Each structure stands twice: as structure tokens, then as C-alpha cells.
Amino acid sequence: MFSGFKVLSLTDRAAERIKAIMADADRPIAGLRVGVRNGGCAGMSYTMEYAEAPKPGEDVVEDRGVRVFVDPKAVLFLLGTEMDFTTTKLASQFVFNNPNQTSACGCGESVAITPVSEDRIPARA
């Protein structure tokens, strides 16, 4: 759908963590599926799951040796997002640095995201 630029990118930390998780999976995994769903106090939350193969219509992002499948319903919400993995004294988690996110709830479990409009879609290289 958006060939010519990446819907999302990964930091080195995120890629290394995804590789480690996939290596420990109990079945063959082709990559990680990322999306968004309605819910939570701010309206939406990010989703992640193992992907054994791409589904029809998904964007496939290959970055830093990791394959990420992006749910077609989430593309306009994730366009330009950087996925990171952070570790603090209290938690280790994936973090989405999303330029389309307008707010987040206090607990950090849900976000408000404005989809990218056609006039904000980057020109293809």
C-alpha cells in the first residue's frame, strides 16, 4: 500500500528484543504483527502478536533484520512511528514513538491517535 517508505521503523533495542522473543517461540515465526484496536480510557491501544505469515493487504516492514507485518486497518494510525524497547527499574516494554498520537492515558496502556490524512502522507522516494 505504501511502498517507497516505511510505515514504521525499529530501534536497535526493539529489533534485538524481537529477535530474542522470536528465538524463544514454540513454533516457527515469520515476524511480528503490529496493529491498533479500540479500547482503553484514551480510545486505542497498540497490539502485537506472533505472525506465522503475512495476511492479505498487510504492509511488510523489514528493518534491522526483523520482519514486521502491519495490519492494514492500522497503517494510517502508525505511519511514521518508531518502535523502541525500554528498560527501567520497574518495567521492560515496547514503546511506540508515534507522531500521530495526540494523547495517552495516565496508566500508559491506551492512547488517542489521529489517522494520517492524505495531505500528510509523505511523498514516495
Residue 1 domain-assigned (yes or no): no
- Amino acid 105: pLDDT: 63
pLDDT tens column, 75-120: 988 999 999 999 999 889 999 998 887 766 655 565 566 666 655 5
Residue 2 domain-assigned (yes or no): no
Domains held by the chain: number:
1
Average pLDDT, rounded, for the chain? 83
Write phi, then psi, for 65 (nearest 5 degrees): 80, 15
Q: Is residue 64's pLDDT more than 90?
A: yes
Instruction: Say what the pTM is.
Output: 0.78
Given CA atoms 107, 109, 115, 116 in this order, what sign does their dihedral have? positive
Q: Looking at residue 33, which CATH number applies to its domain?
A: 2.60.300.12
